[in-house]
Structure 1
Amino acid sequence: MTRHLLKLSDLSAQEAQGIVERAIALKNSRDPAYRPFIGKTLAMLFTKSSTRTRVSFESGMVKFGGHALFLSANATQMGRDEPLRDTANVLSRMCDAIMIRNDSQADQEELARHSRVPVINGLSNLHHPCQLLADMQVWTEHRGSPKGKTAAWIGDGNNVCHSFIEAAQLFDFKLKIASPKGYEPAQEIVRAGGSRIELVADAASAAAGADVVITDTWTSMGQEAETQRRLKAFAGYQVDDALMKRAKPEAIFLHCLPAHRGEEVSASVIDGPQSVIYDEAENRLWAQMALVEFLLGMTPKA
């Protein structure tokens, strides 16, 4: 059966943890002779702009002997309203996997329904699972297993927040979420997170005693018209030095980037000693290549 990754919960806890462990092994090895994707092609469909998603998938495929095709909506028939089922049927006859970065989780599900090969969510309106594999990798590398620990999400209850909720289930940690009223994560996703998820009243309450503090931009792609309203709503949700002092002394700071210094995070935090954002960004490559291995059934046996 073809496996897809449209949301993190498409994986079992054992599978998700195994992918992170494999990503760490690939990163530590950096073996130039290991090229499992020779003859393999990844089609990358983009309707949203990207830096880290494109570069990590494309570079990763090249490093491991494969090839990646960058397909923007405006340069393909997707931009002329070709049905997704036709796109899926054609691409999956020519390529070994498909990555899509777009605005619609529903469209990704439609693409996967008609694809013969794995479909990977490179970001949607609801989820960002590849980011969370990289985040779990960087957490594990710097502070050991997330199991039994506490993460604090400060800010918009967006797609990354939703994937963090699912990560809390798979990696068995507590997630405290502080969002302004009207910007909380989707209730059905919070409910599915069960007792591991706690919605708290303010940023200070979320950060208290946390092992990891995470935030994201207050205005995501496609929300630019809301910028001023969001700046007002999110006042008091900046991750600054005072907020980090409420977390554990050894706490690390995560941000998926791009970041706006002076808005969701102060420069002193994101550029400070507790920030691991560049390791986090690099891990997109390693985690995603471990994921492609897994979805193609190519992960070496232990």
Structure 2
Amino acid sequence: MSQGFSTQRPQPPHFLTTADYTAEQLLDLVHRAIQFKVESKYNHPQPRTERPLTGKTMALVFSKRSTRTRVATETATAYLGGHAMFLGGQDIQLGVNESLLDTSRVVSSMVDGIMARVKGHEEIEMLAKESTVPVINALSDKYHPTQILADLMTIHEFVHHRNNNVTDRYTAHTQHPRETLKGLKVAWVGDANNILQEILVAFPKVGISVAAAAPPSYKCDDDVVAIAHADAEKTGATVTFTTKPEEAIKDADIIVTDTWVSMGQEEEKAKRLKEFEGYQVTMDLAKRGGAKENWVFMHCLPRKPEEVDDEVFYSDRSLVFPEAENRKWTILSVIDALMVRGGI
């Protein structure tokens, strides 16, 4: 009987959660993202001559809808000369008539990278385990790593420009984020979801304290909490949990929230809205809680008014739109690291 031929290749690098990387690796990814932003936006129209992904394809395997992640990934891939192929839940057999294992082996044999938005985190782990090309987690129910890289980049930009009193030009690329993030405090007010969990495994690691307020029945995974506390102990940051938004907001530099009703939870909307009464981010809440005088607001979008009112969302304190744009630059940095440079 023929034994065929071996198709085994070395395990490629993946980006499934920031928990897998050191603080310096994450901060270097952010710093590289900022350099890409300057190169593209502020050195424009100088043409980019390097197209390292020419002839290469990035598959976007998405089982959930997406706006920012899809646009960011497609434009980032194109910027490096590659082609992005969107494969939505209605386009392929993902987990329906074909197993995740089979899909991963088949798709990875034909492309050079996979950006996957899945449901359970075990799905992205299976895709990565069986893939012969780099896999990037575009969102799972446990983690959302590219979003939190964009958040770190946005916070760095804000702190840098505030500390240097810069309002008329972009200079964030002149300082490394290792110099701006340590010692800050982020207050989370909302659901104990994948965004908060990714914050917990990333922010304390780089020296940012996290205080999270969620209703009593909303809890983060035990392993995530353990990672957060261990990282905080090393860096001098703090990690606290409460059910009272005002307690979390005390002395906060940044207030963050997210949707209370995620995709697939629509039938729980009435129940969740009742449980989250008093959690809407408002100027009054920030004042009552004692946030720092120059506090700012972040939200990964899409936003609903019950989570944060218009006065905050559209105010000068709001960083939500730069935060959304930075999804492109941080995803570009991750793609460059995995598909061009061969690792993070």
1:290 has 2:333 as partner: yes
Note if contact 1:290-1:299 (Cα within 8 Å) is conserved in structure 2.
no
Is 2:275 the counterpart of 1:240?
Answer: no
- Answer yes or no: is the 8 Å Cα contact 1:16–1:170 preserved in 2: no
Q: Which stretch shifts more, 215-224 or 246-255?
A: 246-255
Equivalent runs, 1:96-115 vs 2, <5 Å = 96-115=112-131
TM-score calculated relative to the size of structure 2: 0.84
Give the partner amino acid of 2:244: D
> Bigger CA drift: 125-134 or 141-150?
141-150
Larger radius of gyration: 2
Q: Distance in 1 between matches of 2:193 and 2:16?
A: 16
Q: Which residue of 2 aligns with 1:200?
A: 242
User: Which one is further off, 199-208 or 220-229?
Assistant: 199-208
User: 3-state SS of the aligned residue for 1:77?
Assistant: coil
Aligned residue for 1:94?
Answer: 110
SS at match of 1:265: coil
User: What's the RMSD between the two structures over aligned residues?
Assistant: 1.6
Q: Secondary structure at the match of 1:45?
A: strand
Which 10-residue stretch deviates more, 55-64 or 218-227? 55-64
SS of the aligned residue for 2:90 comes to helix
Question: For the residues of structure 2 that align with 1:249 and 1:66, how far apart are their CA atoms?
Answer: 45
Unaligned runs of 5+ in 1: none
> How far apart are the structure 2 equivalents of 1:201 and 1:156?
11
SS at match of 1:175: strand
1:10 is aligned to 2:20: yes
- 1:267 is aligned to 310
Which of the numbers 137, 141, 161 marks the counterpart of 2:196?
161
User: Which deviates more, 191-200 or 269-278?
Assistant: 191-200
Partner of 2:323: 280
| CA distance in 2: counterparts of 1:198 and 1:67, whole angstroms | 43
Contact 2:205-2:228 within 8 A present in 1 as well: no
Q: Shift of the alpha carbon at 1:27?
A: 0.4
TM-score (norm 1): 0.95
Letter in 1 for 2:187: A
Q: Alignment identity in percent?
A: 39
Q: What SS does structure 1 have at the residue aligned with 2:28?
A: helix
Report if the CA contact (8 A) 1:4-1:10 is conserved.
Answer: no
C-alpha separation in 2, matches of 1:290 and 1:242: 38
Distance 1:297 1:35 in 2: 10
Who is 2:225 aligned against? Answer: 190
Q: Partner of 2:133 in structure 1?
A: 117
Q: Is the 8 Å Cα contact of residues 32 and 333 (structure 2) preserved in structure 1?
A: yes
What is the CA distance between 1:79 and its match in structure 2? Answer: 5.6
Q: Distance in 1 between matches of 2:191 and 2:268?
A: 13
Whether 2:246 is the aligned partner of 1:228: answer no
Structure 1 counterpart of 2:254: 212
Which residue type is aligned with residue 320 of structure 2?
I
Contact 1:156–1:185 (8 Å) recurs in 2: no
The aligned amino acid for 1:9 is: A
Q: Which amino acid aligns with 1:2?
A: P
Judged with a 3 Å threshold, the aligned counterparts in structure 2 of structure 1 residues 8 and 192 are, in CA distance, closer, same or farther, namely same
Task: Confirm whether residue 252 of structure 1 aligns to residue 310 of structure 2.
Answer: no
Is the Cα–Cα contact under 8 Å of residues 45 and 101 in structure 1 kept in the other structure?
yes
Distance in 2 (CA, whole Å) between partners of 1:250 and 1:37 is 42
Structure 1 residue 298: Cα displacement: 2.4
Shift of 1:244: 2.7
Counterpart for residue 85 of structure 1: 101
Question: Is the 1:153–1:178 Cα contact (8 Å) retained in structure 2?
Answer: yes
The Cα of 1:64 is off from its aligned counterpart by 2.2
1:5-42 CA-to-partner distances (Å, cap 9, x unmatched) read: 11111222111110000001110111641433222211
Structure 2 unaligned spans of 5+? 1-10, 41-45, 161-179, 233-237
Give the whole-Å Cα distance in 1 for the aligned partners of 2:308 and 2:285: 10
Matched, 1:138 2:154: yes
| Structure 1 runs of 4+ with >3 Å offset | none
**Structure-2 separation of matches of 1:113 and 1:174:** 33
Look up the match of 1:37. Answer: 53
Question: Does the aligned pair in 1 maintain the 2:52–2:340 contact within 8 Å?
Answer: no
